[in-house]
Amino acid sequence: MKTGTLKTEARRRIFQIIAALGFNLDFLSLLKGNISQVKTKGLCVPALNCYSCPAAVGACPVGALQNSLNTLRYNLGAGQKKLGLYVIGSLGLMGIIGGRLPCGWLCPFGLLQELVYKVPVPKVKLPAFLTNLRYLVLAVMVLLLPLLVVDTSGLGLPWFCKWVCPAGTLEAGIVLSILNPAIRAQLGFLFAWKLSLLILFLVWMAVSMRPFCRTVCPLGTILGFFNRVSAFRMNVDLDRCIVCNACQKVCPVNIRIYEDPDSSQCIRCLKCEPVCPTSCISHGFSLTEKKEDEPVKIQP
Protein backbone atom coordinates (compact mmCIF):
# COMPACT_ATOMS: atom_id res chain seq x y z
CA MET A 1 0.00 0.00 0.00
CA LYS A 2 1.31 3.43 -0.93
CA THR A 3 2.42 5.86 1.78
CA GLY A 4 -0.13 8.38 0.52
CA THR A 5 -2.91 5.85 1.00
CA LEU A 6 -1.85 5.19 4.58
CA LYS A 7 -1.70 8.91 5.35
CA THR A 8 -5.14 9.56 3.86
CA GLU A 9 -6.72 6.66 5.73
CA ALA A 10 -5.03 7.58 9.01
CA ARG A 11 -6.21 11.17 8.69
CA ARG A 12 -9.74 10.08 7.80
CA ARG A 13 -9.89 7.65 10.72
CA ILE A 14 -8.84 10.42 13.11
CA PHE A 15 -11.62 12.66 11.80
CA GLN A 16 -14.17 9.85 12.18
CA ILE A 17 -13.17 9.13 15.78
CA ILE A 18 -13.11 12.82 16.75
CA ALA A 19 -16.55 13.30 15.18
CA ALA A 20 -18.01 10.27 16.97
CA LEU A 21 -16.76 11.63 20.29
CA GLY A 22 -17.61 15.24 19.47
CA PHE A 23 -21.23 14.44 18.67
CA ASN A 24 -21.57 12.62 22.02
CA LEU A 25 -19.95 14.72 24.73
CA ASP A 26 -22.62 14.70 27.46
CA PHE A 27 -21.02 12.01 29.57
CA LEU A 28 -22.99 13.09 32.66
CA SER A 29 -26.31 12.16 31.03
CA LEU A 30 -24.73 8.95 29.79
CA LEU A 31 -23.74 7.96 33.31
CA LYS A 32 -27.26 8.71 34.54
CA GLY A 33 -28.88 6.78 31.72
CA ASN A 34 -30.92 9.78 30.62
CA ILE A 35 -31.30 11.43 27.24
CA SER A 36 -29.14 14.54 27.10
CA GLN A 37 -31.02 17.85 27.22
CA VAL A 38 -28.12 20.21 26.56
CA LYS A 39 -28.96 23.47 24.77
CA THR A 40 -27.17 22.37 21.59
CA LYS A 41 -29.64 19.50 21.05
CA GLY A 42 -31.61 21.82 18.76
CA LEU A 43 -28.73 21.92 16.27
CA CYS A 44 -28.35 19.31 13.54
CA VAL A 45 -25.03 17.46 13.35
CA PRO A 46 -23.70 16.58 9.87
CA ALA A 47 -24.04 12.81 10.34
CA LEU A 48 -26.37 10.02 11.36
CA ASN A 49 -26.13 10.27 15.16
CA CYS A 50 -29.24 9.46 17.19
CA TYR A 51 -30.87 12.31 19.12
CA SER A 52 -31.85 9.82 21.84
CA CYS A 53 -28.30 8.67 22.50
CA PRO A 54 -27.78 9.64 26.17
CA ALA A 55 -24.55 11.50 25.35
CA ALA A 56 -25.67 13.16 22.10
CA VAL A 57 -25.20 16.94 22.04
CA GLY A 58 -26.95 17.51 18.72
CA ALA A 59 -29.85 16.30 16.61
CA CYS A 60 -29.75 13.80 13.77
CA PRO A 61 -30.86 15.57 10.55
CA VAL A 62 -33.02 12.59 9.54
CA GLY A 63 -34.86 12.54 12.84
CA ALA A 64 -35.24 16.32 12.82
CA LEU A 65 -36.65 16.23 9.28
CA GLN A 66 -39.22 13.59 10.24
CA ASN A 67 -40.26 15.53 13.33
CA SER A 68 -40.80 18.66 11.27
CA LEU A 69 -42.97 16.69 8.83
CA ASN A 70 -44.98 14.69 11.36
CA THR A 71 -46.02 17.90 13.16
CA LEU A 72 -46.57 19.98 10.02
CA ARG A 73 -50.29 19.31 9.64
CA TYR A 74 -50.88 19.81 13.36
CA ASN A 75 -49.01 23.11 13.35
CA LEU A 76 -50.84 24.38 10.29
CA GLY A 77 -54.17 23.35 11.82
CA ALA A 78 -53.28 25.26 14.96
CA GLY A 79 -52.35 28.32 12.93
CA GLN A 80 -48.63 27.92 13.59
CA LYS A 81 -46.35 28.42 10.59
CA LYS A 82 -43.66 25.98 11.69
CA LEU A 83 -42.47 24.50 8.42
CA GLY A 84 -39.17 22.97 9.47
CA LEU A 85 -37.19 25.46 7.42
CA TYR A 86 -34.24 25.26 9.83
CA VAL A 87 -33.85 21.53 9.19
CA ILE A 88 -34.14 21.97 5.43
CA GLY A 89 -31.63 24.81 5.60
CA SER A 90 -29.22 22.70 7.65
CA LEU A 91 -29.37 19.85 5.16
CA GLY A 92 -28.94 22.30 2.29
CA LEU A 93 -25.91 23.90 3.93
CA MET A 94 -24.27 20.53 4.57
CA GLY A 95 -24.90 19.50 0.99
CA ILE A 96 -23.74 22.73 -0.62
CA ILE A 97 -20.48 22.68 1.33
CA GLY A 98 -19.44 19.05 1.02
CA GLY A 99 -22.06 16.86 -0.61
CA ARG A 100 -21.50 13.40 0.88
CA LEU A 101 -18.17 14.39 2.41
CA PRO A 102 -19.58 13.89 5.97
CA CYS A 103 -20.45 10.28 5.05
CA GLY A 104 -16.82 9.47 4.42
CA TRP A 105 -15.20 11.56 7.13
CA LEU A 106 -17.61 12.24 10.01
CA CYS A 107 -20.37 9.63 10.30
CA PRO A 108 -20.00 7.36 13.38
CA PHE A 109 -22.16 4.67 11.81
CA GLY A 110 -20.03 4.79 8.68
CA LEU A 111 -16.98 4.21 10.88
CA LEU A 112 -18.67 1.21 12.49
CA GLN A 113 -19.43 -0.32 9.09
CA GLU A 114 -15.82 0.01 7.98
CA LEU A 115 -14.52 -1.58 11.20
CA VAL A 116 -16.98 -4.49 11.05
CA TYR A 117 -15.99 -5.13 7.42
CA LYS A 118 -12.48 -5.90 8.66
CA VAL A 119 -13.79 -9.11 10.28
CA PRO A 120 -12.04 -11.95 8.41
CA VAL A 121 -15.03 -13.65 6.79
CA PRO A 122 -15.83 -14.32 3.11
CA LYS A 123 -16.95 -11.14 1.33
CA VAL A 124 -19.97 -10.72 -0.92
CA LYS A 125 -20.31 -8.05 -3.60
CA LEU A 126 -23.37 -5.88 -3.10
CA PRO A 127 -25.77 -6.16 -6.08
CA ALA A 128 -25.94 -2.82 -7.88
CA PHE A 129 -29.73 -2.75 -8.04
CA LEU A 130 -29.98 -2.64 -4.23
CA THR A 131 -28.43 0.83 -4.19
CA ASN A 132 -31.72 2.18 -5.57
CA LEU A 133 -33.55 1.02 -2.45
CA ARG A 134 -32.32 4.13 -0.62
CA TYR A 135 -34.55 6.36 -2.72
CA LEU A 136 -37.60 4.34 -1.74
CA VAL A 137 -36.63 4.46 1.94
CA LEU A 138 -36.20 8.23 1.80
CA ALA A 139 -39.44 8.85 -0.08
CA VAL A 140 -41.67 6.51 1.94
CA MET A 141 -40.20 6.18 5.44
CA VAL A 142 -38.79 9.67 5.89
CA LEU A 143 -41.00 11.95 3.78
CA LEU A 144 -44.41 10.46 2.98
CA LEU A 145 -45.41 8.40 6.03
CA PRO A 146 -44.60 11.08 8.67
CA LEU A 147 -46.50 13.63 6.61
CA LEU A 148 -49.51 11.60 5.51
CA VAL A 149 -50.17 9.01 8.24
CA VAL A 150 -51.36 11.07 11.21
CA ASP A 151 -53.74 10.65 14.14
CA THR A 152 -56.95 12.60 14.72
CA SER A 153 -55.02 15.62 16.01
CA GLY A 154 -52.79 15.70 12.93
CA LEU A 155 -49.64 14.28 14.50
CA GLY A 156 -47.55 11.65 12.72
CA LEU A 157 -44.63 9.41 13.64
CA PRO A 158 -40.90 9.37 12.83
CA TRP A 159 -41.28 6.13 10.92
CA PHE A 160 -37.67 5.60 9.90
CA CYS A 161 -36.29 6.31 13.36
CA LYS A 162 -38.94 4.20 15.08
CA TRP A 163 -38.99 1.13 12.85
CA VAL A 164 -35.72 0.98 10.92
CA CYS A 165 -32.68 3.02 11.99
CA PRO A 166 -30.03 0.59 13.33
CA ALA A 167 -27.84 3.51 14.43
CA GLY A 168 -30.58 4.59 16.83
CA THR A 169 -30.93 1.05 18.16
CA LEU A 170 -27.21 0.83 18.84
CA GLU A 171 -26.60 4.33 20.18
CA ALA A 172 -29.86 4.84 22.07
CA GLY A 173 -32.03 1.72 22.41
CA ILE A 174 -29.36 -0.67 23.67
CA VAL A 175 -27.50 1.91 25.76
CA LEU A 176 -30.64 3.24 27.47
CA SER A 177 -31.99 -0.26 28.13
CA ILE A 178 -28.73 -1.15 29.87
CA LEU A 179 -28.42 2.03 31.92
CA ASN A 180 -32.06 2.84 32.69
CA PRO A 181 -34.11 0.19 34.57
CA ALA A 182 -37.40 1.98 33.84
CA ILE A 183 -36.80 1.81 30.09
CA ARG A 184 -35.56 -1.76 30.33
CA ALA A 185 -38.82 -2.80 31.99
CA GLN A 186 -40.83 -1.47 29.02
CA LEU A 187 -39.00 -3.31 26.27
CA GLY A 188 -41.25 -5.25 23.94
CA PHE A 189 -41.82 -6.19 20.32
CA LEU A 190 -40.51 -2.94 18.85
CA PHE A 191 -37.15 -3.27 20.57
CA ALA A 192 -36.89 -6.94 19.55
CA TRP A 193 -37.67 -5.99 15.94
CA LYS A 194 -35.08 -3.23 15.79
CA LEU A 195 -32.48 -5.35 17.56
CA SER A 196 -33.03 -8.03 14.92
CA LEU A 197 -32.53 -5.45 12.17
CA LEU A 198 -29.33 -4.24 13.84
CA ILE A 199 -27.97 -7.79 14.01
CA LEU A 200 -28.90 -8.34 10.36
CA PHE A 201 -27.05 -5.17 9.35
CA LEU A 202 -24.01 -6.11 11.45
CA VAL A 203 -23.77 -9.44 9.66
CA TRP A 204 -24.20 -7.68 6.33
CA MET A 205 -21.50 -5.16 7.27
CA ALA A 206 -19.06 -8.01 7.85
CA VAL A 207 -19.52 -9.43 4.34
CA SER A 208 -20.22 -6.26 2.29
CA MET A 209 -18.67 -2.81 2.52
CA ARG A 210 -20.98 -0.12 3.94
CA PRO A 211 -24.27 -1.81 3.03
CA PHE A 212 -26.40 0.54 5.14
CA CYS A 213 -24.88 3.63 3.49
CA ARG A 214 -25.37 2.22 0.01
CA THR A 215 -28.88 0.80 0.29
CA VAL A 216 -30.77 2.50 3.12
CA CYS A 217 -29.30 5.67 4.66
CA PRO A 218 -31.65 8.64 4.04
CA LEU A 219 -29.05 11.23 5.06
CA GLY A 220 -26.49 9.93 2.60
CA THR A 221 -29.17 9.87 -0.09
CA ILE A 222 -30.10 13.50 0.55
CA LEU A 223 -26.50 14.68 0.63
CA GLY A 224 -25.80 12.66 -2.52
CA PHE A 225 -28.18 14.93 -4.46
CA PHE A 226 -25.74 17.78 -3.75
CA ASN A 227 -22.59 16.05 -5.02
CA ARG A 228 -22.96 17.78 -8.41
CA VAL A 229 -23.24 21.27 -6.95
CA SER A 230 -21.23 21.15 -3.72
CA ALA A 231 -18.19 23.33 -3.11
CA PHE A 232 -16.13 20.20 -2.45
CA ARG A 233 -15.26 18.60 -5.77
CA MET A 234 -13.77 15.37 -6.99
CA ASN A 235 -11.97 15.81 -10.32
CA VAL A 236 -10.54 13.35 -12.81
CA ASP A 237 -8.13 14.29 -15.60
CA LEU A 238 -9.49 12.03 -18.31
CA ASP A 239 -6.52 12.69 -20.57
CA ARG A 240 -4.29 10.93 -18.06
CA CYS A 241 -6.70 8.20 -16.96
CA ILE A 242 -5.69 4.75 -18.22
CA VAL A 243 -8.91 3.02 -17.06
CA CYS A 244 -7.02 0.58 -14.85
CA ASN A 245 -9.86 0.49 -12.27
CA ALA A 246 -7.46 0.76 -9.35
CA CYS A 247 -9.88 3.38 -8.01
CA GLN A 248 -12.82 0.98 -8.06
CA LYS A 249 -10.88 -1.76 -6.28
CA VAL A 250 -10.46 0.42 -3.16
CA CYS A 251 -13.78 2.28 -3.40
CA PRO A 252 -16.12 1.58 -0.43
CA VAL A 253 -19.15 2.07 -2.67
CA ASN A 254 -17.70 0.24 -5.70
CA ILE A 255 -17.91 3.02 -8.28
CA ARG A 256 -15.55 4.03 -11.09
CA ILE A 257 -14.81 7.63 -10.20
CA TYR A 258 -13.62 8.41 -13.74
CA GLU A 259 -17.08 7.64 -15.13
CA ASP A 260 -18.80 10.17 -12.90
CA PRO A 261 -16.81 12.18 -10.34
CA ASP A 262 -20.09 13.67 -9.11
CA SER A 263 -21.86 10.35 -8.53
CA SER A 264 -24.46 10.52 -5.78
CA GLN A 265 -22.96 7.33 -4.34
CA CYS A 266 -19.48 8.82 -3.83
CA ILE A 267 -18.79 9.44 -0.13
CA ARG A 268 -15.67 11.56 -0.81
CA CYS A 269 -13.44 9.27 1.25
CA LEU A 270 -10.48 9.96 -1.10
CA LYS A 271 -9.29 6.35 -0.99
CA CYS A 272 -9.13 6.37 -4.78
CA GLU A 273 -6.79 9.35 -5.05
CA PRO A 274 -3.49 7.93 -3.72
CA VAL A 275 -3.85 4.57 -5.50
CA CYS A 276 -4.20 6.10 -8.97
CA PRO A 277 -1.02 5.19 -10.92
CA THR A 278 -1.21 8.33 -13.09
CA SER A 279 -2.35 10.69 -10.29
CA CYS A 280 -5.28 11.82 -12.40
CA ILE A 281 -7.71 12.03 -9.46
CA SER A 282 -7.78 15.18 -7.33
CA HIS A 283 -10.07 17.00 -4.93
CA GLY A 284 -10.63 20.44 -3.50
CA PHE A 285 -13.08 23.17 -2.64
CA SER A 286 -14.14 25.37 -5.51
CA LEU A 287 -16.88 27.96 -5.95
CA THR A 288 -16.31 28.23 -9.66
CA GLU A 289 -18.37 26.39 -12.23
CA LYS A 290 -16.95 22.98 -13.05
CA LYS A 291 -16.47 22.04 -16.69
CA GLU A 292 -18.30 18.91 -17.68
CA ASP A 293 -16.01 16.06 -18.70
CA GLU A 294 -16.96 13.38 -21.14
CA PRO A 295 -17.14 9.96 -19.47
CA VAL A 296 -14.51 7.42 -20.33
CA LYS A 297 -15.75 4.72 -22.67
CA ILE A 298 -14.56 1.27 -21.69
CA GLN A 299 -13.53 -0.84 -24.61
CA PRO A 300 -14.98 -4.35 -24.64
pLDDT tops 50 at residue 21: yes
pLDDT at 98: 97
Q: What are phi and psi of 234, to 5 degrees?
A: -105, 130
pLDDT tens digits along 25-70: 999 999 999 999 999 999 999 999 999 999 999 999 999 999 999 9
Question: How many Å apart are CA 224 and CA 289, to the nearest integer?
Answer: 18
pLDDT for 76 equals 76
What domains can you pick out in the chain, each with its CATH number? 3-224 (no CATH), 232-285 (3.30.70.20)
pTM of structure = 0.91
The string of pLDDT tens digits covering residues 225-281 is 999 999 999 999 999 999 999 999 999 999 999 999 999 999 999 999 999 999 999
First to last CA, the chain: 29
| pLDDT value, residue 157 | 94
**Do 60 and 90 contact (CB within 8 A), yes or no?**
no
Contact 221, 267 (CB under 8 A): no
For 110-147, write each residue's pLDDT tens digit.
999 999 999 999 999 999 999 999 999 999 999 999 99
Separation between Cα atoms, residue 163 and residue 156, nearest integer Å: 14
pLDDT at 4: 62
**DSSP states along 139-196:** IIIIIIHHHH---TTS----HHHHHT-HHHIIIIIIHHHHH-HHHHTT--HHHHHHHH
> Rounded to the nearest 5°, which phi and psi values hold at 275?
-90, -10
Whole-angstrom Cα distance, residue 196 to residue 212? 15
Mean pLDDT across 202-207: 98
Q: Which residue has the higher pLDDT, 291 or 269?
A: 269
pLDDT in tens, 81-120: 677 889 999 999 999 999 999 999 999 999 999 999 999 9
